[in-house]
Amino acid sequence: MNNGKTKRTRARSKKTQVNVARVQILSEIVQKAKGGGGLARVQAQWEKGKFTARERINYIADEGSFQELDLLVTTRCKSFGLDKTEAPGDGVVTGFCRVDGREVAIFAQDFTVLGGSLGRAHAMKICKVMDMAYQNRVPVIGLLDSGGARIQEGVESLDGYAEVFYRNVKYSGVIPQISLILGPCAGGAVYSPALTDFVFMVEGISHMFITGPDVVKAATGEDVTFDSLGGPKVHASKSGVCHFVAKSEPDCFRQLKELLSYLPQHRWEKPHAAPTPDPVDRETPLLETFWGVDPKKAYAVHPVIWQVADEFKFYEVQDHYAKNVTVGFVRLGGEVVGVVANNSGYMAGALDIDASDKAARFVRFLNAFNIPILTLVDVPGFWPSLEQEHGGIIRHGAKLLAAYADATVPKVTVVLRKAYGGAYIAMGSKYLHSDFNLAFPAAELAVMGPKGAAAILYARQISSLRDPADREALRDKLAAEYSSMFATPYQAASSGSVDEVIEPAHARAKIIRAFRFLDFKRRPGSHENRGNTPV
């Protein structure tokens, strides 16, 4: 009997030893795979002021929440020495985690492994996590740091990009997609972030371009640097590709978390409300200045937005691009609202090509993800110039008209000062089917400014006077008469173009009351999904 016990004990001991050995082997394999391209390449990454892929994910994710997928996947390509090259994870870390308690899917390209280049296996890992995000209705976050397509894999690497792009488009307007450029992003690789909803870049380490400085030099003879060709400042202020610029990677991750706080998980829900100590009926006395402000005087619209917003907080999007229109997120009575506002402090707040595109895409995003739209109007018209006409301002302005007309989320519009011509229509006007249209008492709504209208309507009468001073005096007099007759909110209110003329001090309370009435206007997910197509 004792012999039997001894044998069983020995057997269990041997089995335990085998299991321990297996666990040890697993641990070694996992640790080696997580080591990326090795210590030398990791140190090279640090020397550039960059984090590694896993460090980035750990910085973003709630502690202990990251679950990695496909850790041991690697390239199947045998050409050009890849069969003798170790490529842990095929140069990309994928999985899911929680960010401030919310589930998200995430992938991070690993520059220490084959320069983060995209091969077939690399692409399919990204596609797998994107598919999981779509199926489970969570946002997907991409951390891009890559040398581009893996040349050794030929057309298969390009096919991999196509698979990613297809999903970017298919899932657009269904789940939020966010890209963080944390290194180079060149060639075909740039199109994936351009298809996503928001793009972050970091000063000193981020670059995006179709063709690099050497190719530009060979093709055109121009000498350009990486920063002047595709750095954060270029894409934030000129191309409009970049929405947010960070001073460092930690700053970028902080901004990412703030953005996520304004977004829903998917198109079938609204953004989560947050309690606020700010009274709904708080007065906004600063806005009383609009009673007598000169229509020609420029001002930044941001203080207006701060006055209306909960706790005076405004999270601006694309603050360096097309500054004549300001867009971003606020909370009103705890609920997330998207703001589109003319900024008269830049180009008088007129709409041009870039401003139309910027506002149109933001409106489409808001509509896709059930975020109400507050439009603050102070627009003299579309910007007049030969360059704008030849550049297609008609076509670009039409994009903004279409975006507002398509939007079925709650829409509240406030005319702060002036709203002239086609630009008045484009900025969420009543008969473009805004739900509530309010106006300040000093607002002017008309086909054009009073002076221009008087010059056309009374051209013969004015031109009959010989003295230029007399002509100017008559023009001013007739313009004042036109303004009192047609360019007032009361005339617009009498025709139903404005629902209510309000005291500026009561703007916050009026706006929140309107949005609360509209709270059940549309059931999330019931709208047609047109995606957030780049415009």
Instruction: Check if 423 is active-site.
Output: yes
Q: Quickly count: other Cβ atoms within 10 Å of residue 33's Cβ.
A: 18
In 3D, which of 445, 443, 374 has the Cα closest to residue 404? 374
**Closest to 181 in 3D by CA, of 128, 113, 132, 108:** 108
> pLDDT at position 309, please?
98
Out of 36, 37, 173, 187, which one is annotated catalytic?
187
Strands 325-332 and 436-439 turn out to be: unpaired
**Per-residue pLDDT reduced to its tens digit, 80-106:** 556 556 667 788 999 999 999 999 999
Assess contact for 340 and 363: CB atoms under 8 A: yes
- pLDDT of amino acid 5: 65
374-390 residues labelled b (16+ CB within 10 A) or e (exposed) = bbbbbbbbbbeeeebee
Residue found by looking up tokens 């957030």 in the block: 532
Cβ neighbour number for residue 300 with a 10 Å cutoff: 13
**What is the pLDDT at residue 172?**
98
Give CA separation, 39 vs 45, 89, 113, in Å: 10, 16, 11
Residues 99 and 140 sit within 8 Å (Cβ to Cβ): no
The pLDDT of residue 35 is 65
Catalytic residue among 35, 38, 188, 531: 188
Torsion angle, CA of 187/190/192/196, rounded to 10 degrees? -170
Tokens 């708080």 correspond to what residue? 282
Q: Give whole-number Cα distances, 288 to 140, 304, 309, in Å.
A: 43, 11, 16
Tokens of 368: 């896709």
Q: Nearest to residue 142, comparing CAs of 186, 100, 188, 176?
A: 176
Residues 6+ apart with CB under 8 A from 464: none
CA count, 13 A, side-chain hemisphere, 466: 0
d(Cα 75, Cα 84) in Å, to the nearest integer?
A: 11
Q: Is 420 helix (H, G, I), strand (E, B) or coil?
A: strand
Residues 6 or more apart whose Cβ sits within 8 Å of residue 41 = 111, 112, 113
The torsion of the CA quartet 448, 449, 451, 455, rounded to 10 degrees, works out to: 0
DSSP secondary structure of 354-414: HHHHHHHHHHHHHHHTT--EEEEEEE--BPP-HHHHHHTHHHHHHHHHHHHHH--S-EEEE
State which H helix or E strand residue 198 sits in.
strand 198-202
Active-site residue, 187 included: yes
* Buried/exposed code over 438-464 (b: 16+ C-beta within 10 A; e: otherwise): bbbebbbbbebbbebbbbeebeeebee
**CB proximity list for 321: less than 8 A, separation 6 or greater:** 236, 237, 238, 240, 242, 354, 358
Helix (H) or strand (E) holding 418: strand 411-420
- The DSSP call for residue 316 is E
DSSP string, 88-130: GGGGEEEEEEEETTEEEEEEEE-TTTGGG-B-HHHHHHHHHHH
- Would you say 68 and 132 are in contact if contact means Cβ atoms under 8 Å apart? no
What is the model's pLDDT at position 17?
A: 62
Given 422, 452, 455, 505, which residue is catalytic?
Answer: 422
Q: Is 123 a catalytic residue?
A: no
Question: Please, what's the b/e burial string for 208-240 (b: 16 or more CB within 10 A of its CB; e: otherwise)?
Answer: bbeebbeebeeeeeeeeeeeebbbbebbbbeeb
- 240 in active site: no
Contacts of 110 (CB under 8 A, 6+ apart): 36, 37, 52, 53, 88, 89, 91, 92, 93, 116, 145
Q: Would you state the pLDDT for residue 478?
A: 67
Question: 179 in helix, strand or coil?
Answer: strand
Q: Print pLDDT tens along the chain (535 aa).
A: 566 666 666 656 666 665 666 766 666 666 665 666 678 888 999 999 899 999 999 999 999 999 999 887 776 655 555 655 666 778 899 999 999 999 999 999 999 888 888 888 899 999 999 999 999 999 999 999 998 877 677 788 889 999 999 999 999 999 999 999 999 998 888 999 999 999 999 999 999 998 888 888 888 888 899 999 999 999 999 999 999 999 999 999 999 999 999 999 999 999 999 999 999 999 999 999 876 667 778 999 999 999 999 999 999 999 999 999 999 999 999 999 999 999 999 999 999 999 999 999 999 999 999 999 999 999 999 999 999 999 999 999 999 999 999 999 999 999 999 999 999 999 999 999 999 999 999 898 887 766 666 566 656 777 777 777 767 776 777 667 676 676 689 988 999 999 999 999 999 999 999 999 999 999 999 999 999 988 7
How many helices and strands, by DSSP H and E, does the chain display?
Answer: 20, 17
Report the distance separating Cα 124 and Cα 70, nearest Å.
10
From the candidates 133, 423, 446, 454, give the one annotated as an active-site residue. 423
pLDDT at 130: 98
pTM for the complete prediction?
0.91
Task: Assess contact for 231 and 206: CB atoms under 8 A.
Answer: yes
